[in-house]
Structure 1
Amino acid sequence: MDAVDLVDSVGWTRSSALTWSRLAPNPGPMTLDGTNSYIISAPGFAGVVVVDPGPVDEPHLRALAGRGMVELVLITHWHRDHTAGSRRFRDLTGAPVRALAAAYCLGGQPLQPGERITAAGVRIEVIATPGHTADSVCFWLPDDGPTGSVLTGDTILGRGSTVIDYPDGRLGAYLRSLETLERMGPARLLPAHGPVLPDLAAASGAYLAHRNERLVQVRAALEQLGPQASAAGVAAVVYADTPVEVRAAAELSVAAQLEFLRGGSTAVRGARADDVK
């Protein structure tokens, strides 16, 4: 087992040299095992930064609050499995909550793309990664181990692929975000759902390839069904094996793919739903 992939007796996982994660008790078709909430702190520092407090679950929020003096709360994007507990968590800790979207900030200013934050003894850089949602961001910790780490929210998951929450999320923006993350190299990937992955560049490249394959499949479905086929009709062909409980999410991604293609875009290279993660 990797030295930082250790689970203690009370539900905390050592996810990297500078982070611990705790799984919220909200498993489901769209959240996988649940939402990973993260604690960031440098050795010897009493303060912590919390990323995505998760749902309104009192034991989970109290466990996060009990890890140290919470200096700051950061939000990767607006979906409720990441943000619903923010207000209660602020009541517990008094810490400001910062997100890219002002509506999800509490006592703090909106994040700015490229902003550099130092808190709990750790350097944190805000990387704008729109696509899954318009306000999605990742957090880069350049000093976290030999390659650094990136908290990716739902932009890249530890298992499977994420939905494009169209029309808030857009495929063109998402592809550019994946390319941005791929260029960052082999950082440790800390996702909001699923296990930690060792190589951000490899995961980003795999996601780009997957999106390219889906675009090929959507084009083929349009040739079969006609150019004006609906997202539901295309999803029934392209995502025929998708379980019924996530079919609505598949239709959102197809809608994003159709907009992308009908706007004249080609393949990846050379080429508001509250329950959606």
Structure 2
Amino acid sequence: MSKKILAILSEYGYWGIELVGPLAKLEEAGYTVEFMTPTGKKAEALPPSYDTTYVDPPLGVCVTTAGDAELVKAFEATNRLEERRNMAAEVPERPYFSKPNFLREFEHYFTDVKKAQDALTAEYAGLLLVGGSGPIIDMVNNQRVHDIILGFYQKNLPIAAICYGVAPLVFARDFNLRKPIIAGKHVTGHCIEYDYHDGTGFLHTDLNMGPPPYVLEYILADAVGPTGQYHGNFGKETSVIVDYPFITARSLQCAHEFGEQFVNVLDHGLTRYGW
């Protein structure tokens, strides 16, 4: 089995420990983690994610420990993210229906996307979707991200997602079936009690979105449907759920446990955890 993992990161800011936490666990287990961004631009950690004085508004406490801040700053100093894959160059864009010669273009799209999916799943043993506020802009409703997720899902390879990196799982759907791939599954993600009222911000833009544009709990609960279950685990320090092939984690406090369970899925055949 391949010992490589593909991590998808936003170009508008990722939460530091949500990459560095699982990265450390994967590397300790002998995995190499490689990076991809939506248009090939360098991903950067959101400044609050390595600021030990930053108070998370919903929680009312400083959420970044000194140890985690040092891990993130040390990782950023390595320039590891200078080497990254360009999603837009590797995964085709689905054509508009109004495009001239649409049917032929649509046929080419399906052929080309399968080639891209096959290439990535032959190279990587699993997929990591890193959270933070940035994914709201360029990962959640990114058709190329959806197609990558579908490629790993179709090959029954593990898909690990944390914080707002979980949201793309709602929208990654076979184009013809239009059904959530997490239907009937157990998942976790930001519960409504942890959502911002104001201040959802991003790198490389002055935009303050206020609250997130959707309630992650609600869209996850709707997507898993009556035979699945959303687990917010409000009041518990961490929330990590494994329902193979999905490994989902609520937020930054879960990052290390999330990485441990990702390794357990990869190396020890874990299929269920946290529910």
Question: Same fold, TM exceeding 0.5?
Answer: no
**What is the TM-score normalised by the length of structure 2?**
0.29
Query: As a proportion of its length, which structure holds more strand?
Result: 1
Greater RCO structure (CA 8 Å; 6+ sep): 2
**What is the TM-score normalised by the length of structure 1?**
0.29
Query: As a proportion of its length, which structure holds more helix?
Result: 2
**Higher Rg of the two aligned structures:** 1
